[in-house]
Structure 1
Amino acid sequence: MRNENKMTKLFIFLWVLSFPTSASTGSHSAWVLVTYIKGNTQFPEFSITVMLDDITVGYYDSETRTYVTRGNTTNEDDMYNLGDNTAIRELLYDHLVDKLRSENHTNNLVVYQILGLCELLDKDKSGPFIIKNAFSGSTTDELKYFDGKFTYNGPLKYTEQESDPALQLLMWYHEVFSYPNCLNTLRSYLKKRGAQVKRKVKPRVRLIKKANSDSRGFRVSCLATGFYPRHINLTLFRDEQPVADHEITGGDLLPNDDGTYQMRKSLEISAADKHTYTCSATHLSLDNKLDIDLEYQGETFKQVISSVLVVLALGLVLITVIGVIKWRRRRHSGNT
């Protein structure tokens, strides 16, 4: 479990989550990430991570030699699963080992990765199919198939008139086998786990102002956390006008441990700044745009003081009322 979590954070987040995907609510994707590491590391030599959108649904590595499903699974979950196919696993492993030998790397640490993904667009329309190869986190070549056409970027020769025979064979293989199999896998997962990737969780949004000892000014931070799906539009306004991008720091999408996401955007301001600031968020889980005004530490203190004064005032009123009642009772008993 520890190795799986580390592999997911290191490779899935840095490479896969940075890969652009559609923000459409009707678009979904299946991902397979194959990683081979040669060198002295804490990670397994060979691993496969299978994902539905951004949810890990299966994992295999060369240390446990066992494919493990993740999340809400059924016995039928892996009928099409690449990660649970021993023959394909061995083929991928041999391919990456041979690649290392042929290129004769002298580095102490070598990382090869293969990323395969396919998408279903709105109304179950077949979307793009993409195969990427990477070395140490950088893409070396990419093959894309969509609407019956291939595009390729890499070292092999490819034009509409002529292409490398090995590349032609690879294209044929992906068109008649890999692409249909990936779409079948994706449709199968969506039937069983659609509720997981179609769920909507509202963001918790705050706008905070904190003192910056280095600049003797302040840092205004717009924070949204706990939201799903991961697509969110977070904007910082100054006097009802969007703050320019070059003034903003942060803005990276980060995962939470519970499967939701967070994003923070910050702005440095001077101590004399008198502008008003607002944080605005739009998300699929929200019916309307969510606007949050700045939270000053002084305001919180004032609210506490005001609450205490209200309680004290009510206490004084209550004591006065009780005193009046007792006085009337004593007066009434004295008259009788």
Structure 2
Amino acid sequence: MIVADAARGSSTDELSYINNTFTYTVAVNIKQELIKPHLEKFKQDFAKTFYPVCITTLKNYLKKRRDQRNRKVTPNITLTQKANSDSGESRVSCLATGFYPRHINLTLFRDGQPVSDHEITGGDLLPNGDGTYQMRKSLEISADKHKYSCSVTHLSLDNKLIIELEDEPFRRRIGVVVAVLLLVCAISGILAVVCMRKGRREDRDFRGSPNLMM
């Protein structure tokens, strides 16, 4: 607690109580007999009124907020890339949502190095309707071969959480290749079954022909 007096735009004296210790600083020539009553009155007011009221109010507040203080909710993290058809660029966004308490560290990385703040948009802490919070950071990128990731540290997490951005075009190419292979396998299987059935039918016809009976 600090009480300061000032006159003509400058401080004259300051009385403070920190860590159970009173200190008094004076910047003008004030006689001791004028300082001592002021100091004693402040000590009495603090000991009888300010300190008990502050401590009692704080304890009651912390008691009411006990469940809230102990609450920990793990954030849900998503790292996405969305193309802009007009500009030909893409936006990489890292979203952390549904976490509590509110303090969180969210960082975007390019090839393992933090992206500078002047390239990042967003980063504001926003409340959700259920009492949790969310934060989003985005980065505009051109067609490149960089690898992007997002790291999150939060009180609810034991370790730093790192999410890597998957290569969507590569995934699509792999998906097309797998689909073609499955189609080829399916057609091969059908042809094999047809050939087997045709061979069995021809064998039965050959055994039952009159020439074979003679």
TM above 0.5, yes or no, is yes
Aligned residues: 180
Q: Does 1:186 align with 2:62?
A: yes
Identify the match of residue 159 of structure 1 among 7, 10, 15. 15
8 A contact 1:209–1:296 mirrored in 2:
no
Q: Does 1:316 align with 2:208?
A: no
Alpha-carbon displacement from aligned partner over 1:116-136 (angstroms, at most 9, x marks no partner): xxxxxxxxxxxxxxxxxxxxx
Q: 1:255 to 1:306 in 2, by over 3 A?
A: farther
Q: SS at 2:95's partner residue? A: strand
Q: SS at 1:323's partner residue? A: helix
8 A contact 1:251–1:265 mirrored in 2:
yes
Aligned equivalents of 2:198 and 2:3: distance in 1?
Answer: 95
Q: Which runs of 5+ in 1 are unaligned?
A: 1-149
With 317-326 and 251-260 compared, the bigger mean Cα shift is at 317-326
Shift of 1:287: 4.0
- What is the TM-score of this pair, normalised by structure 1? 0.43
Number of the residue aligned with 1:268: 140
Aligned equivalents of 2:126 and 2:152: distance in 1?
Answer: 16
Amino acid at match of 2:15: T
Shift of 1:331: 4.0
Aligned equivalents of 2:120 and 2:50: distance in 1?
Answer: 43
Q: Please identify the structure whose Cα radius of gyration is greater.
A: 2
Q: 1:282 to 1:333 in 2, by over 3 A?
A: farther
- What is the TM-score of this pair, normalised by structure 2? 0.62
With 256-265 and 305-314 compared, the bigger mean Cα shift is at 305-314
8 A contact 1:240–1:278 mirrored in 2:
yes
Number of the residue aligned with 1:290: 161
Q: Which has the higher contact order (CA 8 A, sep 6+)?
A: 2
Identity of aligned residues (%): 42
Number of the residue aligned with 1:218: 90
Aligned equivalents of 1:305 and 1:169: distance in 2?
Answer: 80
Amino acid at match of 1:201: T
Q: Which runs of 5+ in 2 are unaligned?
A: 7-12, 17-23, 25-37, 208-214
8 A contact 1:203–1:227 mirrored in 2:
yes
Alpha-carbon displacement from aligned partner over 1:56-107 (angstroms, at most 9, x marks no partner): xxxxxxxxxxxxxxxxxxxxxxxxxxxxxxxxxxxxxxxxxxxxxxxxxxxx
Q: SS at 1:159's partner residue? A: strand
Q: CA RMSD in A?
A: 3.9
With 237-246 and 221-230 compared, the bigger mean Cα shift is at 221-230
Alpha-carbon displacement from aligned partner over 1:134-193 (angstroms, at most 9, x marks no partner): xxxxxxxxxxxxxxxx2579x9x9533369x89x96896442124323313423542xx3
